Amino acid sequence: MAKMIDGKLVSKKITEWVAREVKDMTDAGHRKPFLGVILIGDNPASKIYVGRKETACREVGFDTTTIRFDEDVPEDEVIQQIREFNNNPNVDGILVQLPLPEHMDFLRVFNELSPHKDIDGLTPHSQGLLALNRAHHIPCTPKGIIKLIKAIDFEMKGVHAAVVGRSALVGSPIAKLLTHHHATVTTVHSRTKNPWEFTSTADLLVVAAGVPKLVDEKWVKKDAVVIDVGIHRVDDKICGDVDFDRVKEKASWITPVPGGVGPMTIAALLTNCFNAYKTHVS
Ligand code: GUN
């Protein structure tokens, strides 16, 4: 039976550290860190995520503002808002919540973000630096995953790590990060034939497929560490991309859903924004 990787506990330690650092800075006479958020449209999941981020910011002593746009807003209006945040010296980080509406060009919008304020690490500039292992801001979910792996003292060097999924938000950056940590990385995705043949030899398995309970025990090597990035509501119950009840019997460690990766994404956002703030005020 696998041990649980407690993302709530690890993230709490990180957010408490950020709160102490913010207090030290404001006690010393500096302004508070500021996160500017842009939320477009009515995607229910996006609204929940942005609400959680706002709450987390306030809990650690950041100021934050969310600019909300209708789904059909012209791209230029969003770009105008990004430029305002870029040019405002009191804004430390800018977060444009994904997914963007269909009519928007991701590259055009994200290329507008100042790389120093791109605390999500998602601009083409930031992703290029990440590929070169020189990132200023590492994308939040992958950064949180690495922290969880380190929290259980798992040695990444030399192991076989498998990543399920290749999205710009999670799969692609976590595969790069694991490589930078000297793992040998296999990526499988929706077009891979018999993906379990690859994943079932992996010592570390990161699942970011976006498919409820896709991964069962057949995909998992005995005593592997399993990180589940997915979160879904199915028949009024929350589940991940991993069939938790079956995989927990085979893995050595596993993240629960909820309470695994989710809180770590927010903790990573806070640390990225705090790091940007430090470069702005000192
Ligand atoms: N949508 C889902 N997760 C994320 C995230 O980490 N950052 C942004 N910008 N959008 C998201």
CA distances from 259 to 53, 208, 213 (A): 15, 16, 17
This prediction has a pTM of 0.97
Distance 279 CA to ligand 1 centre (A): 23
Residue 247, number of CB atoms within 10 A of its CB: 24
For 222-257, how does the pLDDT look when each residue is reduced to its tens digit (9 = 90+)? 999 999 999 999 999 999 999 999 999 999 999 999
DSSP designation for 120: T
Structure confidence at residue 126 (pLDDT): 97
Pocket test residue of 67, 97, 112, 265 for ligand 1, highest count of atoms within 8 A of CB: 97
Structure confidence at residue 250 (pLDDT): 98
Active site residue 127: no
Q: What mean pLDDT is predicted for residues 42-48?
A: 94
For 244, the 3-state DSSP assignment is helix
Active site residue 118: no
For 61-78, how does the pLDDT look when each residue is reduced to its tens digit (9 = 90+)? 999 999 999 999 999 999
Is the confidence at residue 197, as pLDDT, over 90? yes
Structure confidence at residue 282 (pLDDT): 79
Contact in structure between 273 and 136 (CB atoms under 8 Å): no
Structure confidence at residue 50 (pLDDT): 97
Q: What mean pLDDT is predicted for residues 111-122?
A: 97
Amino acid at the residue 212: P
> pLDDT grade, residue 53 (50/70/90)?
very high
Is the confidence at residue 173, as pLDDT, over 90? yes
**Ligand 1: residues whose CB is within 6 Å?**
49, 95-98, 120, 140-141, 169, 265
Active site residue 120: yes
Is the confidence at residue 6, as pLDDT, over 90? yes
Give the burial class of 154: count Cβ atoms within 10 A of its Cβ; 0-12 exposed, 13-18 middle, 19 or more buried: middle
Tokens representing 241?
């991309």
Tokens representing 73?
């807003």
Reported as type and span, the H/E element at residue 187 is strand 184-188
Domains plus CATH for the chain? 30-115 (3.40.50.10860), 140-262 (3.40.50.720)
Catalytic residue among 92, 97, 221, 241: 97
Is the confidence at residue 18, as pLDDT, over 90? yes
